[in-house]
Amino acid sequence: MSHYFQTPTGAENRRELTMRFWETDWSFTSADGVFSGTRLDLGTSVLLRETTPRAGARRMLDLGCGYGVLAVAVATVCPTALVDAVDVNARALELTGVNAAAHGVGDRVRPLTPEQADPLTRYDEIWSNPPIRIGKAALHELLLTWLPRLAPDGVARLVVGKNLGADSLQVWLRGQGFDCERTASAKGFRVFEVCAALG
C-alpha cells in the first residue's frame, strides 16, 4: 500500500500549489506525505475538466480528499452545500481544513476520518478519484460502503485510470445494481457518473 494512504511521520515540507480549472485560478497548500503532494494529479484534473457539480447540491462528499481540492472546489461553487471531506490520512485532513479556511469555506467543509462521518447522511453528490491501488477487494468494500449513501437522486462522479481497471470497474458497479455511465475519456482516464442502486 502506498504511503499516502497512511498518516506520515516525516517532515511536512508545506508548499503552495497553483492550478486553474472551472475558469478560476486556485491556490492550495500541500505537503509531503499526501496524495500527489507536488501537483494536481492528472486524474483529478480530468475529472474537474469534464464535469461540474449541480447547482442545487446541498450535501456532498469528497471521498479520499487528500489536501482538499475537490472539497474546496465544490463548496466554493455550491455556496449552500455542506461538504464532508473524508480521508484516512490525518495530515491530508489538516491540510484540507487549512485550504477550506483559506478559500472562505471552512464553515462548510468538514474534514473527517471515515469513522467520523455519519452513516445516516445521504449525499446529493460524491466526488472521488478513488484509491485504486489499495487492491480490488478493498476498493470494492470502499465503494459498497459509500455509494449506498447517495440520496435517491444522487450521483457519484468518479475518475479511474483505464490501465487501472476502469472498464472492469464499470462492469462490476453495474453488476452491483448501480447505473454507471462513462461520461468522458481523456488522457488515459475514464470519468463515470454512478447513480443510486436501481430498484
In 3D space, the residue among 39, 94, 89, 86 whose CA is nearest the CA of residue 65 turns out to be 86
Q: In the numeric block, which cell numbers belong to residue 36?
A: 500527489
DSSP, res 199: -
Taking only the tens place, the pLDDT of each residue in 109-163 is: 999 999 999 999 999 999 999 998 888 999 999 999 999 999 999 999 999 999 9
What pLDDT shows up at residue 198?
60
Residue range 33-43: mean pLDDT, rounded: 94
φ/ψ (deg, to 5) at 98:
-60, -45
55-70 pLDDT per residue, tens = 889 999 999 999 999 9
pLDDT in tens, 57-104: 999 999 999 999 999 999 999 999 999 999 999 999 999 999 999 999
Residue-level pLDDT at 91: 96
Instruction: Convert the pLDDT of each residue in 6-26 to its tens digit.
Output: 677 788 999 999 999 999 999
Question: In whole angstroms, what is the distance from residue 167 CA to residue 144 CA?
Answer: 17
Those residues with Cβ within 8 angstroms of residue 137's Cβ, 6 or more apart along the chain or in another chain? none
pLDDT tier for residue 3 given thresholds of 50, 70 and 90: very low
For CA atoms 116, 120, 124, 129, give the dihedral sign: positive
> How far is the C-alpha of 59 from the C-alpha of 114, rounded, in Å?
16
The pLDDT of residue 4: 43
CA dihedral 168, 46, 123, 86 (to 10 degrees): 90
Q: Is the pLDDT of residue 199 over 80?
A: no
Q: Please state the domain extents for the chain.
A: 3-195
Phi and psi for 139 in degrees, rounded to 5? -65, -45
Backbone angles phi, psi at 59, to 5 degrees: -120, 125
**pLDDT on residue 78:** 96
Using DSSP, state whether 70 is helix, strand or coil.
Answer: helix
- DSSP bridge partners of 159: 191
Q: Which top CATH class is 3-195? A: alpha beta
Distance CA 188, CA 78 (A): 29
